[in-house]
Structure 1
């Protein structure tokens, strides 16, 4: 049926369709009225189109142009007499019903014309037409699209003239233009012509859309009706069309009406030359504001209804076990859709008091919310709301001001929780019993709850109420069964009933999850099918003993093979149910998954082994440093005394030879009688032999010094201080440390070429080569040195330094190649290795940005290739590596020597005999002396002393006499504590390592004395 009339008094026409109510729920509650949904379609726009078409028909049939109308599919529905004449048809019936493409010589041309009409709404141009008899003629046409009130294309209309007839064409063109203007003037969409950025023509529809008169818009700047933020968009589209980059455009922008109202506009436009040199923009502008708003609101309503229907369906059909999660999810989804901060459901308390307790709560993620009490009861926080809701009322509160005066506690609770607005529903069961409440609340902003929202959410509350009532009933029915099956079904361990032959009779889900099978799969199998083969015999032994009634229960740790093939460790406990005759009815097996525990135990074991190995290495390093320190102190004065005697003894021998010659000349044979056997002491050969033995002693002592220095390098393996390192020194130290393992097995071939230094710790790099050399040595049997070799080679390629350790040993088996760098993997005999050597090597090399590769063939030896990035720095100067220096000749200085080793003090006093030397035998004595006397050019101070260390003395000088602290030279037999090593790295004072090189020591002392005198 049709009706007319608007609230505003204007006329409108609508069609109403009656449709039966479609309930949201599949079953209507008894006594509920069925609903009727009425759909009304506004057809005012359609009527306006019909009126426009009626006006058009006044000139349609009388025009000398060939006029035609086609539907949206491109099928001709109406033509005038001129059309029939030009195309050679005798009646309209012959032309109507045919496709537009049938009237053109090129059907593709018809398709392109329709495509442009769909895009821009207008087309103008020439084409070759085909008459009914097959002949062709040149046609000039003008076409526009016809749209309905929603801007949807419902057809096309065109005016065509045969331009081959020029005289008639002129008149036809005039009539066509008149027809086109009539179409434009009566078009429901806005039509415009823009020249030089201003409107030169607008039709009445466009003026109405913009809210201006046509005179006001004539000459108006286009941008004046464009929303400021969209002007760049419009300007760019105009530029593209005028520049010829595109033939047509279709886009939306926001327009501003005369009254300031912002509307959504759709533009369909092309570029045309009105005459030579006069280019203009022509197009349609449609007001799509109402459509956009309706689409948004309609889509939102549809989404709301769909969400409500979906949630209601899910809640109504949710299984008992999933109902809580389904309700919580429904709260979340509804809060997200409505942009609500939280939702809560209160249920009766367990003590069956009239009060309600919070049981479901959803908080928007990221919401700042006060702590919620563990037992939040509505009678304690919201007593007024509870009373109203329990009476069956719906509460819509948009502000705390809406609460009555007697809702004092409710208002305080709202303020505590920060609630601004709330929509609350009673949860009413089928017997009108209120079994809880549902609320939606906001804390970030106030919200007005529309009647439509309240009505829709009421349906959700009803669904939740029915579901909770159903849950309560099912819970009561299941309560007794659940009490008996709770342990079986919900245990955190796997439980199974197992038959006499090992078949699974009943299993819980935990066991299924543990083994990776579904219950229906497990009950078709036996426990023997999935017990690890290596563990099956032990399990069956106990199983048979239980069948024989020898034992009543047993426990065992064993492995099971999961469905995916992975292994799970289980602590299995088995008991049995017996018949009256003591035969086994079935077994009850409990499975505790201990896979993670076993993994952690393995990790702890490995960690303990790592720590033990690290402790051993650290202890060895500390021991090496301690040994080196203890050896270096006496070695310093032993070496000095031997070196000085070795230098002085030849002089004494020469002097004795001169004395013997003088005595012989004076006494003659009497000299032999006087001295007797002691005369040999004056023989030159005696002293030359003693000199040779002293030289050998010096060489041996220097060898000891080299060994202690190698031990010092090994003791620094834990140092993380990175410096440029010349590979020659750690390699030589490693060879020296490993020499006892190497010398009985292979020859050492060195090809150590000069390379740039690498950035690292000399001690840790020494450990790398020591581990590789020991591995190489252990791969070669003893006793065949001449036929075996270990080759060490270094070279540089570009910015990479390479080092190679190659041996002729037994090689590495192919199956072991992928594991040799794994911690604790070893092929050596028990007691020969921990399996950590190569793992440590790879870790150290990786830490320094390098790489290590291995190549090997069984019985052909192995080759380890190390690559490290070269660094641009220079390695530490070797003032302590016996580089001979020239004495500056600066004498007569005043020196303080501090050391708790008397032998060191005596040696230094002899070495520094050209200077005034003051001695202190401890750090305490030195501090007492320095407090009274600061007139020293140089202070030689031992680092490690028993009570007050050299570091303590230096720190005291820094606090009391900073200039004097800069004159300290540290003497060290090896800074083997981390603190001492760190302190020496931080200060800039020079240090001399024991046993010291005499020339270097004298030179350094002279330089400091000279600097001190210069500064004075």
Structure 2
């Protein structure tokens, strides 16, 4: 695509298509970083940077990261070059762009269509930009909330100057936010891994957030760190009072789960306890705690007599995870809103205009005396009719109105019938009537999941036979899509399938549900999803 006119200058239909493609890509990219280990984040960022630059038309992109305390050094860590010749011969250093560095520290974007737009105090940046061949630049600071920045994303053109429309800048800021959350989470996870190693050593030495409970003597020992972490007052440290105080302040939604696992440890059904739960600190409010525990002595019946444990506050990590989920939820909803807008525009505008054209061509056909001209007009009219039907079908795929009007069951039946009419799949549908009220998010989640699963059957399964099942189960809805095709290894899906499967998992997770994928080479594939019927996306 031509980068000079992305987001402006295209015909209306093409702008809609590009906008939809961009929103879809952002939604997919945000899902990539869910449940990634710190070691996997770098390769995902490199690939995501390439996809975005290829879509928008960026010649040269650099992701910089801050290091040191205070923020002393900003180092380029990820690159994208549209051509090998664009790669600079000398390594990039922060001294080359002192003015831009100050803008990033201050949390300000740099948006220039030409190096001549740089202020006088950016003379060093301007000269080094010329040496690198930069024509235009957009640099976005990477920061989470009010925290210090984690880095910067620099997007450049080298072949020609370009303008940066407000719409494009806003979309690229979303991309920067995805990278920011991924980098911030990686840092938190790396810090947590290092801290867990220190925590294990401290536990062995009875040093860090440590406790011991002697049930025979009815005595509890807690160290200073645990006393502060749980907010245990001095008057509650006698006997088993500290243990009872901790139980009293477990979050009501997590108490039963925590105490069940504790009973399994004490009864000997579990060798080691490892769990995360919420705790209501009397002064500091809700905290997330990681709890590791074991038993050093049991009685003749196997019941725990002497136990120990180590606690750690993981509230910050949980907050980052929740921010990532919230970003994914907002992006998915933005994508659905964009689809609904495009569907309305196609249905209410484009199809109506095609219908008018078909009527006009029909009139010309009737008024044409020559047989040859009449046949030509008939062919044009039939082509317009087919095109109108195709546009109507596309609008339905983008946003099926039947889902809102008649509900999930009827929408799935209509989707199966539509695909049967297309002749690509031999579908059997077992869709039971639903007796419970289905929430909007739950219905949309299962409908999109069914669409993606059937798309995968058509594209990858190597079979025409598939089935769709929907029924109520355990206070929720169970959806199953099966085929008898070539199958695959769920641990190593084909590249073209991977994004779709990640999107499925993210949608189901946001709807508080579960997703199971059962497949093996030459044994077909079954995708089973369960979501609570009335649950709204978190």
TM-score interval (norm. to shorter)? 0.3 to 0.5
Tell which has more relative contact order, 1 or 2 (C-alpha 8 A, sep 6+).
2
Give me the TM-score of the superposition, normalised by structure 1. Answer: 0.18
Greater radius of gyration (CA): 1
Give me the TM-score of the superposition, normalised by structure 2. Answer: 0.34
